[in-house]
Structure 1
Amino acid sequence: MATAPCTAFRGVAEGSGEQVGRRLLFERVSFLTELCGDLTRQLVASRWDEDSLDVLAAGADGQGERLPSKGWMALRRLGWAQAATPPAGVYVSDRVRRAAQEYAARTLRLALHRRALLAAILATWPAEPSGRRGAAEWTALRAALPAGVGKAEIRNRTRQVSAYLREHGRLPAGLCELEDPPEVAAVVLLAAMDRQQVTLQRVDEVTARLRVKLPLCPAPASGRDWAWHVIDIRLPHTVSADAVLHTPTLRPAGDGRIAVDLPHSRPAPTTTTASGHRVAVGFDWGVNTLLTGTLGRLSGQGPESRVVTDGRPLVFDTTAVSAKLHRLRTHREHLAAKRDHYQHLADGLGAPHLAWAELLDKAAVLEVEHERVCARIRHLNQALAWSAARWAVDQTAALGASVIYLEDLATLEARGRRKGNARLSGQVRGTLAEAIRHLAAKAGIAVVTVPARGTSAHCPACLNPLGHHPAPDRLTERGWTWAHCSRCGLSMDRDHAAARRIVSRGLLAQSHTVTERATGTRTIRTTVEGTARPVRRPKKTTRRLRRARHALTAPAQPRGPKTTRARAAPPPAGRQSHPGVAPHAPPDNMPQPWL
């Protein structure tokens, strides 16, 4: 199942036939969002304690029965739903309460993972004041951690606990003491409601019709202050005609539009198994480009197996878009700095001052412009991620590969360079990885992640440590664009060398592939080192080669009567019909395909 961002472009009040414009529709959806958000915040705040999280983590109610998977049903089984009530005199139906309870249950359940990770870190906290762990402490921590935790999560939680320790002089007792209750986003989970509150049907290939009951005022006093609204939704091209639409999620966007997160599903071909692949494509999250890939083939059987490649790089160059995003990010930072400056000046002057209102107006204008630039960056990142994912899947299918190997994002980090870390965090790698999995599932191609550590540090041909340089003609200088091996003489783009290492790790360690039950993602956590040597490409079958093959294999045909045809006079001696092109003779043997 995938989620497509859509936009509501037309609404009609069902009872009166009133044409509801975009602004009025935005207001009424915002009324519903505020009602649900208040109830959700009350529920999360009332159960933000260690005892409640213990009950939720146990997954059973007071009678020992298993809690339902639906969040609103689990909260009602535990008796927690009564903690949230609307303000006095405000009428809210039971279906709206369900949406708020579902959101609260999901928020609390998401906190269980952070809580388990924090408990493991606190239980194995190092005795040294510096907070550095020794080998024994790292071993104990890995044994206590939940499955699937990466080093980035460990590092971030450790820094959070260290900051708390410096401020309070002691370790926190748990997650609820370390963090405040999570913030609640302005969304309405319509999936928790039934047909008495929301319905959805598809009109044609590009339009869906959502029928939902919305409040007519911020504080509806009775059911008469609620009315059915028919909202037409324009479907993006990513939602195919045979896709099954599911109940969406509504959220008011910052530019006055209604954003609709529409889940949809369609039957996808069965993906290949986790192992048994012979041809694969490995992609590197490049320093110079967004994606750099190469084709690899597994040759041989058992211990004699090795990975060979044809040496052709696959490059998705995003230089122009990356430059645009960099300019937008710089502009966003300048706007934020000016806005904070005006706000700080206004706070220092106070309300009685004459320039106080003028400074606040300037800060408000800058805030609007800041939100506009942020929206532009999000849209560019989304378009860039899906374009790169479509390109990667199309390249893989055209090359006849059955699996795509990617670097594991949880283990990816630019060490020692803060600017590099900022550059990595500003890219769309998480969205791109999800888009590749989604599009590859449609094409029947498996997607597996491999460990990222060391892929750019060693030579793919001999596993010798690589030297990184600015360019191939500047091998005496240190840089990060070009890779050179002093042992075997390999010299190529750094990202291309890393892609060879990725495809080699994936093909050689495919028997160690692990599939997560919850998400279905496949990953390889065991590193198997091996070389990826280039081999000769097969020559293209030209017309000359086809004629030579036909002359060698076709049986001799009896000659018929000889006929004469008028021909042009031969060129003078010493001249050719095509200057500079010597006549070719047919080859003695045919080219062999690459291993």
Structure 2
Amino acid sequence: MTVTLTATATCTAGAAQVVSGTPEKPGLPQPVNRRMLVERAGFLTALVQQLASGLLATAWTEQHLDQLASGVDAEGRKLPAKGWMALRRLGWTPLVPAGLRVPDRVLRAVGEETARALRLAVHRRAVTAAIIAAWPADPRCRTTDDWALLRWHLPAGTDNATIRNRTRQIAAFAARHGRLPDGFTELENPPAVAAQVLLAAADRQLVRVERIDEVRARLWVQLPTVPAPVSYRDWSWHDIIVPLPPTVAPAAKLCTPTLRLRDGKVRLDLPFETTVEPAPLSGHRRAIGADWGYNTLLTAVVAEPGPDGTVVCSGRALRYDAAGVSRKLDRLRQHRETLQTKVTHLERLAAGRQSGLDPASTAKLDLLQREHRQVCARIRNLGRALAWSGARWLIDQAHATGATVVYLEDLTSMEAPGSSKAWNRRLSNATRGVLADAARHLGAREHVAVVTVPARGTSSGCPRCGNKLRHIQAPDNHKPANPWALCACGHSADRDFSAAQRIAARGLAGQHRTTRNRAGQASVRQTVDVPVQRAKTPTPRPAIRPAASRDKHRPTPSRPRRPARRAQGFTPAALATAGSRPAPTRAVQRPAGRTPQNLTVQVPGTTASHTFSSNHTRTRHRVRWTVLGRGFHHHVHATPLQQRAGTRGGGETPGTPRIAREN
């Protein structure tokens, strides 16, 4: 059995030309420069955004959302899966201004953009309606009965983070108006439509994608040549060459992309499909258990099933430390909040004045908004790069150790109650969700299963005996803290390393109960804790050398004397060439202060300064760990890979020694 793995590559349009005919009969091609291509692509994105915004505003009513949520049309037929077809079945079509000529395939893209926004609103509306129906007396502190009533009304699979966010939104509305909202459309306004074109909703009459070679693809798309096309003669086929990134395999199937503009360039979100063999969910003989952390993003351990239903874990911890990047994200988040505060202040000031802001304040507001967007983009890009780097490191460690499965703890339903604002800000910067998705994607490509296990109790329970752990500062400092875990049975280890052992044990013990949800994500839902045995790790010892003889039966051998190193400026050749500069005499009175020194050549008659000793050139800082593959950033410190002899395929690496357990 094979599965289709879909990924998206962001590409930039390259050379382009416009033709007078069709892709079958191009006719006379004419080159199109980058500025003109961006301009015409902007005509199309602006047209789609305008029509989609109008259709979304028209359908943003409780009656329309009820009809879409029912899943059937007026005649009782089931709505199609494609969004634009479902809207047409319901009779919801965009209103084209008089005088404009828009192809039907462009209207399909408008309908698909609107349908996706409305279907997301239907899900949020169901959650909001359930929370309003079970609104407690004190929304900040629900009782057990309140939670039971709320869970009965909520849709299946709703996590606690969604409940908390929707509760805060409804409470803010109640504080402003003194009552609960009558419906979802009163609570939320229609969302903003992105300036993009979902070309996947069209067919070959609007867009075509074909591959030229391993590194290039060709995109045929119809673009308007004027901002407001009034006839079909204002639409022309454009032949665009798209360079492919290295992540797109030569055998991958290219799908229809999404067109958008970014930084004065035409961007294409190009999906591509790859057929892979799914990794097995059970029968694993070696696994990696990874624990999440804030400073140390990932702490992993290698484990194997042991005798009598136990699990044997290696004594070596695999760490992916991204503390420097986390602090950078924290600083960027604080800077973003500061900029947003200034922007909000100027916007309120402009709303309170009838004449608006003065030119200087308007320019300042534009500058702050532009800087805010740049900081937000920096946070997104850095977090995404950190997540994919950590996922790539985790899958590579699985290959290097011969593991066929990676177990992660499921944090989708866990919260940190009672935390401070600073800690909540740090948690919001976490990239765990993106990292887990990236690990699943890379694991599917590399034939490594990625499975989640229940997270409750992984850090508080002892992996040896299962009793409650004491969290202290250090082995020699029993002050209550989080770094170190100590148990009465003698277990003493780093807290994250101890939790990683427990995660690996839960995964291996419950691997026969692994299931997949509707999205294809594998998980072990039932908690099964088994004892973890200590690993017997061989300690490398230096080779035994004979003791040096200290007798005096022979003369002490002479040792070569190390030559004295002299700076280049003090060599005889340099002193000989320094005669062109006259030496100062006692008859000349120099200014007050120390005698000026030449750091290259010492002038006869002067005193050498004691502030420098040699003429070694200072080499610039080099980011060595990035070159060695230990991380994508010079503030990321990760355990290097230890590739052993054998194949990189799934299963245990041949020649890899088993983990020895302590007798």
TM-score (structure 1 length as normaliser) = 0.83
Matched residue, 1:8: 13
What is residue 445 of structure 2 aligned with on the other side? Answer: 442
* SS across alignment from 1:528: coil
**Equivalent position SS for 1:424:** helix
- Indicate conservation of the 8 Å contact 2:258/2:269, yes or no: yes
Cα-to-partner distance string for 1:378-416 (whole Å, 9 max, x where unaligned): 322222222211111111122222221112231243332
**Residue of structure 1 equivalent to 2:606:** none
Is 1:455–2:521 an aligned residue pair? no
The match for 2:431 among 428, 433, 440 is 428
Question: Distance between the aligned counterparts of 1:592 and 1:156, measured in 2?
Answer: 48
Letter paired with 2:92? W
Greater mean alpha carbon deviation, residues 279-288 or residues 413-422? 413-422
2:325 corresponds to 1:325: no
Q: Which moved more, 1:205-214 or 1:313-322?
A: 313-322
Q: How many angstroms does 1:507 deviate by?
A: 2.3
Contact persistence 1:414–1:420 (CA under 8 A)? no
Does structure 2 conserve the Cα–Cα contact (< 8 Å) formed by 1:411 and 1:452? Answer: no
Relative to 1, partners in 2 of residues 1:20 and 1:180: Cα closer, same or farther, differing over 3 Å? same
* Partner-residue secondary structure (3-state), 1:475: strand
Q: Point out the structure with max Rg over C-alpha.
A: 2
Identity of aligned residues (%): 49
The one-letter amino acid paired with 1:52 is: H
Of residues 135, 151, 163, the one that matches 2:172 is 163
Q: Deviations over 1:461-480 (max 9, x none)?
A: 2333333344444332x433
SS at structure 2 position matched to 1:411: coil
CA shift at 1:338, angstroms? 4.4
Q: Equivalent residue for 1:537? A: 537
- The correspondence for 2:234, drawn from 221, 225, 233, is 225
**In the alignment, what sits opposite 2:290?**
283
Query: In the alignment, what sits opposite 2:383?
Result: 381
8 Å contact from structure 1 (residues 53, 108) kept in 2 = yes
Check if 1:39 corresponds to 2:39: no
Q: Give the structure 2 partner of residue 419 of structure 1.
A: 422
1:311 touches 1:535 (CA, 8 Å); kept in 2?
yes
CA contact (8 A) 1:248 1:263 kept: yes
Q: Which residue of 2 aligns with 1:122?
A: 132
Matched, 1:370 2:436: no
Residue 438 of structure 1: how far off its partner (Å)? 0.6
The CA distance in 1 between the partners of 2:457 and 2:437, in whole Å, is 24
Whether the 8 Å CA contact 1:346–1:359 is kept in 2: the answer is no
Shift of 1:192: 0.6
* Residue aligned with 1:278, SS: coil
State the alpha-carbon separation in 1 of the partners of residues 177 and 364 from structure 2.
38
Q: Distance in 1 between matches of 2:277 and 2:503?
A: 26
Counterpart in the other structure of 1:594: 660
Instruction: Report deviation, 1:13.
Output: 2.2
Change in Cα spacing, 1:147 to 1:345, as seen in structure 2 (3 Å) is closer
**Deviation of the 1:263 alpha carbon:** 0.7
Q: Is the 8 A contact 2:304 2:312 kept in 1?
A: yes
State the partner residue of 2:40: 28
Change (3 A) 1:593 1:106: closer
- Retained in 1: the 8 A contact 2:410–2:454? yes
Which position in structure 2 is the counterpart of 1:306?
Answer: 310
Instruction: Classify the secondary structure of the residue corresponding to 2:49.
Output: helix
Q: How many residues align?
A: 542
CA distance in 1, matches of 2:659, 2:299: 25
How far residue 212 of structure 1 moved from its aligned partner, in angstroms, is 0.9
3-state secondary structure, aligned to 1:498: helix
Alignment match, 2:275: 267
DSSP-derived class of the 1:194 partner:
coil
Residues of 2 paired with 1:135 and 1:319: CA distance? 38
Q: Contact 2:312/2:659 (CA < 8 Å) preserved in 1?
A: no
Deviation at 1:199, TM superposition (A): 0.8
Q: Which residue among 84, 106, 131 is the counterpart of 1:72?
A: 84
Contact 2:139 2:167 in 1 (8 A): no
Partner Cα separation in structure 1 for residue 345 and residue 177 of structure 2 = 31
**Alpha-carbon deviation of 1:349?**
6.4
Which letter does structure 1 place at the counterpart of 2:306? S
Say if 1:19 and 1:325 are closer, same or farther in 2 by CA, change over 3 A.
Answer: farther
Q: CA–CA distance in 2 between the matches of 1:163 and 1:171? A: 10
Shift of 1:189: 0.3
Describe the SS at the equivalent of 2:276. Answer: coil
Q: Quote the Cα distance in structure 2 between the aligned partners of 1:159 and 1:335.
A: 23
CA distance, structure 1, for counterparts of residue 107 and residue 278 of structure 2:
39
Residue pairs, 1:100-499, within 5 angstroms = 100-126=110-136, 128-130=137-139, 132-253=141-262, 255-273=263-281, 275-300=282-307, 304-341=308-345, 351=355, 356-417=358-419, 418-476=421-479, 478-480=480-482, 482-499=483-500
Answer yes or no: is the 8 Å Cα contact 1:131–1:162 preserved in 2: no
Change (3 A) 1:592 1:526: closer
- Kindly state the Cα deviation for residue 442 of structure 1 after the two structures are TM-superposed: 0.9
The answer to which of 207-216 and 167-176 deviates more is 167-176
> After alignment, is 498-507 or 383-392 more displaced?
498-507
Question: Which amino acid is 1:372 matched to?
Answer: Q
The equivalent residue for 2:503 is 502
1:224-276 deviation line (CA, Å, top 9, x unaligned): 222222222222221111110100111222x2222211111111122213x33
Please say if residues 506 and 529 of structure 2, whose CA atoms lie closer than 8 Å, have aligned partners that are also in contact: yes
TM-score (norm 2): 0.75
Q: Which amino acid aligns with 1:56?
A: L
> Relative to 1, partners in 2 of residues 1:533 and 1:438: Cα closer, same or farther, differing over 3 Å?
same
Q: Mean Cα displacement is larger for which, 162-171 or 360-369?
A: 162-171
Which one is further off, 384-393 or 275-284?
Answer: 275-284
Please state how far the C-alpha of 1:497 moved relative to its aligned partner: 2.0
The one-letter code matched in structure 2 to 1:394 is D
The alpha-carbon deviation at position 339 of structure 1 amounts to 4.3
Greater Cα offset, 330-339 or 262-271? 330-339
Q: For residues 538-591 of structure 1, what are the alpha-carbon distances to aligned partners after superposition, in whole Å with 9 as ceiling and x for unaligned? A: 6899999xxxxxxxxxxxxxxxxxxxxxxxxxx98989xxxxxxxxxxxxxxx9
Q: What is the 5 A alignment of 1:506-517?
A: 506-517=507-518
C-alpha distance in structure 1 between counterparts of 2:133 and 2:515, whole Å: 28
Partner secondary structure for residue 44 of structure 1: helix
Corresponding position of 1:547: none
5+ unaligned residues in a row in structure 1: which ranges? 545-570, 576-590
Structure 1 residues 487 and 182: CA distance shift in structure 2, 3 A: same
CA distance in 2: counterparts of 1:540 and 1:227, whole angstroms: 71
Unaligned runs of 5+ residues in structure 2 are 1-5, 21-27, 553-656
From the superposition, tell whether residues 572 and 332 of structure 1 become closer, same or farther in structure 2 (CA, over 3 Å).
closer
**Corresponding position of 1:92:** 102
Of 95-104 and 147-156, deviating more is: 147-156
* CA distance in structure 1 between the partners assigned to 2:110 and 2:230 by the alignment: 19
Quick check: 312-321 or 7-16, which moved more? 7-16
CA distance in structure 1 between the aligned counterparts of 2:502 and 2:326, rounded to whole angstroms:
26
Tell me the amino acid that sits aligned with residue 116 of structure 1: A
Partners in 2 of 1:393 and 1:238 — Cα distance?
A: 16
Which has a greater percent of helix? 1
Instruction: Tell me, yes or no, if the aligned pair for 2:257 and 2:270 is still in contact at 8 Å.
Output: yes
Aligned partners of 1:411 and 1:453 also within 8 Å: no
- Between 1:322-331 and 1:280-289, the stretch displaced more is 322-331
